[in-house]
Amino acid sequence: MKESLTLTQIIQNFAQNDLLSQSLKFFNALGYTSERRIEESGSPETFLENYDAQQHFSRERGLFAEWQKIYLLFQLTDNEIKPVKPMFQATDQRIDNSIIESFLFIALELKQTCYSRTDLAKITRAINQIFAMPAILLFKHGVPWHTICFNHSSCRWFCI
């Protein structure tokens, strides 16, 4: 029989398990999952090489020196969003005069114990400069007490 973990257990497991698997479990527990995945190494340099061909990302504003691991977890399209709309409200809403039909989910592990909401917002904005669709970021930072925060380009915050 497959063990079903509670959201609390999944969050607690971030401390000892790898960022990629725990992030996928976290979003799956919230009802957000997709088969649209790309296997990645988690290397920050490789992430930028793969996704920032136009060099829109600012290493300074995005606090790049603080990154340990980063994964583009998956992409949710309009059809996949419809069953789980509460977090996204209406997917036909306009952001920056664009109709949003998909979202990217990204997990980022940072080096230091504590970051301000301003720092996390700067990172989120810098990463969102790379993509044509909004990226929702899950941040992992802090030892021994790990903080899990996620937000997207309109800077709505959910911290655990």
pTM, entire model: 0.80
| Percent of the chain predicted with pLDDT > 70 | 73
| pLDDT for res 147 | 54
pLDDT at 45: 97
pLDDT at 32: 86
At residue 6, does pLDDT exceed 60? yes
Higher-pLDDT residue of 28 and 1 is 28
Give bridge partners of residue 140 from the DSSP assignment.
Answer: 109, 148
> pLDDT by residue (tens digit) across 110-151?
998 888 889 999 999 999 999 988 899 999 887 554 555 555
By the 10 Å C-beta count (0-12 exposed, 13-18 middle, 19+ buried), 99 is classed as: exposed
Average pLDDT over residues 5-14: 84
Sequence ranges of the domains in the chain: 7-159
| Band of residue 39 on the pLDDT scale cut at 50, 70, 90 | confident
Distance CA 126, CA 28 (A): 26
**Closest Cα to residue 81, out of 14, 149, 133, 123?**
133
Q: What is the pLDDT of residues 78-108, one digit of tens each?
A: 776 665 555 555 445 555 545 667 889 999 9
Which residue intervals of 2-146 are DSSP H helices? 7-12, 19-29, 44-51, 78-81, 117-128
pLDDT of res. 1: 38
Using CA atoms, how far apart are residues 93 and 43, in angstroms rounded to an integer? Answer: 34
Q: Is the pLDDT of residue 155 over 80?
A: no
User: Tokens 């606090």 — which residue?
Assistant: 63
Q: How many Cβ atoms from other residues are within 10 Å of residue 61's Cβ?
A: 12
